[in-house]
Structure 1
Amino acid sequence: GPQPSISNSEGDLLFLLDSSGSVSYYEFSRVKEFMWDLVRPFTFGPKDVQTSIIHISTTPTMEFPFDRYLSSGTLQQAIRDTQQLMGDTNTGKALSYAKEKLFSGEAGARPDVPKVLVWVTDGFSTDDISEPMQLLKDMGVTVFIVSTGRGNYLELSAAASQPPEKHLHFVDVDDLPIITEELRDAIRDVIHANRLHAVDITSSSFRLMWPELLSQETGYYTVEYAPRDELARKRTKQVSGSHTSLMLSNLAPETTYEVALIPESNVHYFPPQTTRVTTLAEEISPAQVLISESGPHSFHVSWAPTLESVMGYQILYGPLPGNAVKLLEVDGKHNSTVVENLAPNTTYLVTVTAVYKSGQEKSLSAKACTQEEGSKVRHLRFEDMGPNTLKASWDSADGKVLGYRVRCRRQTGPSSVISVSPQIHSVLLTDLASGTTNKVCVKPVYKTQAGKGLCRVVHMQPATEAQGYKHRQRA
């Protein structure tokens, strides 16, 4: 869904992008999407966030200076237009180059703003990274590492900023969206740390946070806040010098507030700090209903958001067509349930109703399909058929199969999808370059939905070794 914009964040954010030949075109494209998703909510500008990309290749290259793209639209296009360079994975050389650029006015970097490095890697480097990475961290750069391959945990956890559980992520390239929000929040924490900022923003409240400037003995803080369009409606609160946060509540939804923090002290002078915070739209629940983990006799229903104003949820479900419905009740703190004892290969209408404490009710519906019994391919295996060619075979799936869909995701070259009739249980896969790792998935197709796929990763031996392949089960 749309992200609330993140403003009052000042920092230089540098992506270290593995652009070498060890990364497939598909992986490179997914990483570019991930980079854009990560930065999309930030506000860009000379007083906000600036970002750049350095390619890891034989020779490191800067895609664009920090101060070139100062709007979301132009930055998104620049990330989309970024081309893979291929070449060697000289990460150490790229880190030394990054150290120069992160502190270079010519590269558009700014003095005295937080510096963040996000290194996206398949876990492989041809040169040493420990020394240049340590130099970067010694200069105050916060290092986040996202490993999409089989990187050495000890080496990468030493390279990332501490603690590694906050700064190091291991994730398959297809699952990058899972970590986007957590990583974005961690980056925001770094570039917010020394300024007045808001957290826990809702439609009617937010919490102000600020650095420790005063103490109980040296003074107090005055907080002034008002809607930007009605500054005459200014409200004032005072808290002791020992505070570093304050919750503001009873605010209007979808309203931008101007906020000032004034440290009052007879000992030191601290200039006022200001920020601008926009409350969220008044939330309604459920705003979305998601069906997942569908089996022959059950499926999982989840919904969002969960609100304090909701007392409980009612889940009505019944087969289509028909008017036989059953009811499940879930308390307001939960946002999911499992619906069981269902008929296989059947479409159900599921309606989630939020019952508010005020007595109001809001409903949203979704369709769900149960699987056919045993709707999974079994025993996927491979046979070497000569240079760059494999034969993939499988045992038939249960139920009334209309056909099979075979997807081959090549490390180099395009992905392909082959559809075959239900009587055919093998296909030839060609153009599998030696030395590459490729992913093959076979899915049965039924009248109402696709069945569960079975995937395996196939490694083609380099041409110098004995011809052939290795394969391993992929969970």
Structure 2
Amino acid sequence: MLFSLTSEQGDGNHHDYMVKWKQGMEEAYEITRENAHKAAVRSKRHYDSKVKSSVLQPGDRVLIRNMTPRGGPGKLRNHWEDVVHTVVRQVSRDIPVYELRPEKAKGRSRILHRNLLLPCDHLPVETEVRPRTRKRAVETSEEVEQAEEEDDDDEYYPVSSQQPFEPLYPPTLTPMSTDKPAKHLQTVENMSSEPENEHEVLNQCEQLPDQQENYVEEPSVEEPVPVPVPDKHSRTSEQEYHRPMLNCCEGDILLLLDSSGSIANYEFSCLLFFAADLLRPFSLGRGHVRVGLLQVGTNPHLEFGLDVHSNQESLQSAMQGVRQLKGDTNTEAALGVARELLTETDVKVPKILLWLTDGVQPGDVDRPMSELKTRGVSVLIVSTVHGNYQVLKRVVTPPLESHLYSVDIDNIDIITEDLRKAMIEIIRAERLRVIDLTSHSAVLQWRPVLSEDSGYYELWYKSMSKPGREIRHTLTRDSSRAELKNLQPETTYTASLRPESNQAVFNTLTVTFTTFPDVLSPAVVYLSDHGPHQIRVSWGPLQLARVQQYTVEYGAIPSSHVRTVTLPRQKNSTLLTGLEPGTQYLVTVTALQVDGKERAMSVRACTLAEALPALIDLQLEPAKRRDLGVEEMQVKWQAYQGGLRGYWIKWETENPHGTTSSMYLPPSSRSTQLTHLAPNSRVCVSPIYSSGRGDGLCCTATTHRG
């Protein structure tokens, strides 16, 4: 009753209700189980296709993921444990499980999966500083044992062997080598792996130079070892720097980067590096892809606009200089700036707003995001696992599976390719296309991508039915179109265009097309501009290279008299004049081919009937016959006399049935008198010619009764 719901009618019992309820629950559980299984299979397939694993070797230094709640709440907690471990061995070749032990501190060995390990060979090697000094070096194994027992009671303070740095992943975006630090850069105590026995320690100590006999009182600090970017962000391959530029796209991409205080330094660096790597393959500038960066903080900050960077070198350098704003997360104000940048412009290209955020307290973004989508902006979102998924799901542009990503910050690189493909689908521009196609030729057009300094285009095409034969052409750098000639009719061809330049590497553009069937002119003849004495005849297609001249023959049907007009091959229409009105003609267009053959096509054409003159004037005057006392109506008119055969007069008589009377008068008549007209009778007079009746005139007669 509360919700105006009607109860089910009919009798029932408890047993029937339980059976029905059990059946419904089983059906619901089965549907849920099937959907969960499909989601699991889809997630596994996606993960397996993008997972990247590097094999660890014995002696590699790694950090272990912090799986304990210690270290502070939420994002304040360290992602990795403080103690550096070394790899002892791989438990099995078939599974990525490794045995680890602490590098310095004593502790138990641990067996962990590769997903919980982070290679850290780039981290500095820590040197143990003893709290006391020792005058003489160890000389016997007994003294070594005694010294170790004494050292166990002391505290050791780790001192970095290089200058301190703030984040684990520096905010620099410059790719560096991921090679391990050279052994000779480590301290003397770390020149080899841990000794297996005490005699090895003794032998190492005995091999020390004489100047090392007196233990130094102050710890020595080595020269700093270069700190590379982490492995997962490194570009160790030379091909990575020279990957082909994607000149297949045209559009605007605005990065909306969360730079507030809710983002940790580590997460901000990863998001920034991810964005730079995502955009690296695109060709930049007007006519290609324009990129802008807008930071979200207490007040929005436009790092650079859409027209600032026209090449990757400039963009990547600018991304390296971006610094975090901190402060509040004022996303609404930033979206106002984004709306001005993306919508209030005359550039008609696809537009993308890529929102990089942790998703924590995004604010009231539904309305501004909806306005952006209404104006044609595609909203794509990358969020960490802490984000408000329900809010992000509402504001993203469908489909969710390719436009909304919620990933762990340490594994954000696994979505790079998928997200880039989704962006390409939005801003893809057909760069190589066929603008004109015939049975024997095709005209290709593309957007120029080469600079004015250097470069050229290499064009080649071949028939799909004859893949072995390939025709190549070299075009100048200012070319934007090319005509392919001497093609075979009804044949599928593949054409490829590759810009060549020593400044950048461009991807190859390809287009496939099929030529039209071989058509000889005239293939079609059509008529226009019909009149009583003329008709225009046109035909096609116009084939200048294959036709010598055209001949047009026409004559009235069934007359045998035929007239002929000869036209050059540049003409594809002519106006036939001097025709009889209302007459049917047979028109034949013949093309004389270059090889001497002829092709003709005939059509029937009819001229319009000539318009007949209309009645010029019509007047009605009342008249009364005195002898009979009957009221009459005098009718007068004027008409053209050429071809006139007479007049046809029609009026309504005065009788109970209201009949209509008519009569025919000779062409010499100019007037007549009518009697017994009905009240307000209509009187009409029409001229009669030899070819038909002309347009007449009508008047209403007003009679007076005495």
- Tell me whether the two structures share a fold, i.e. TM-score over 0.5: no
TM-score, normalised to structure 1, is: 0.44
Choose 1 or 2 for highest CA Rg.
2
Structure with bigger RCO (C-alpha 8 Å, 6+ apart): 1
TM-score, scaled to structure 2? 0.31
More helix by share: 2
More strand by share: 1
